Amino acid sequence: MVNYVEASYNVGDVLGEGIFGSVCEATRISDGQKVAIKFIHKRGEYRTLAIPGYSEPLIKEVALMVKMSEPPLSPNVIQMIESFEDDEKIAIVMEYPQPCKTLEHYITENEMLCEEMVRILMRQAVQAVIDCIDHGVVHTDIHPGNILINTSTLDLKLIDFGCGLLFTSDAYDGSQYEGNIEYCPPEVTEMNRFHAISANVWSLGLLLLEMVNECLPYPESEEVLFVNPDLSGGLDLKVPDTTQD
């Protein structure tokens, strides 16, 4: 695999590292296209998924990205270009929008985002989740570090399907949740189970809170504390009285 990478790509700086591997920026030699390559170490057992059209199960993250590559393509989900593996590593070559930053870095650099910008980003984040479910995939690790923002256009892309699952309307066992603990829905710890759509709604709600408020209330407080002085109060809606005819 190393020879293939070196023959096809000029691998550059490391964009991020984790316990399972690293992501590097790279340039495809044949046409100069910028890409990101995720290298995953094979350590012990690793999960695979069987999906239609493939005689053998695929590495889970590869399988989920293959499903996301089925038409219609989502403009708000990162696309896999190719993947390959050897006895030690798996490599996933993905598109790499330019110029871009993670939403996590974007929030940090811009402090509190204005409401109009948040609306633009949030609409795309919700659409990304809908597109995943429409493709039979549930992304269980939605947080600012797993979202890329094109800083010129504000186009958003959801990345990193390493914790993802095949979609089902049935409940998942709590042990199947492998996403960021700060974005973990409460039913995972309280009832040891979760449903795909409600878990995604929880994560999206926290994502919205972090964009407009720069931080989450946890773990310092169980209350939602708003520190953004420019946040509007919204509409003063009154709940209709339905107790009378």
Q: What is the pLDDT along the chain (245 residues), one digit of tens a residue?
A: 657 888 899 999 999 887 778 999 999 999 999 999 999 887 766 788 999 889 889 999 999 999 999 999 999 999 999 998 888 889 999 999 999 999 999 998 886 688 899 999 999 999 999 999 999 999 999 999 999 999 999 999 999 999 999 999 999 999 999 999 989 999 999 999 999 999 999 999 999 988 988 766 555 555 555 566 666 665 443 434 544 54
CA 181 centroid distance within chain: 14
Catalytic residue ranges: 141
What the chain holds in terms of domains, given with CATH numbers, is 7-95 (3.30.200.20), 100-213 (1.10.510.10)
Cα distance between residue 54 and residue 79, in whole Å: 19
Using DSSP, state whether 110 is helix, strand or coil. Answer: helix
Backbone angles phi and psi of 37, in degrees to 5: -120, 120
pTM for this one? 0.86
Residue type present at position 3: N
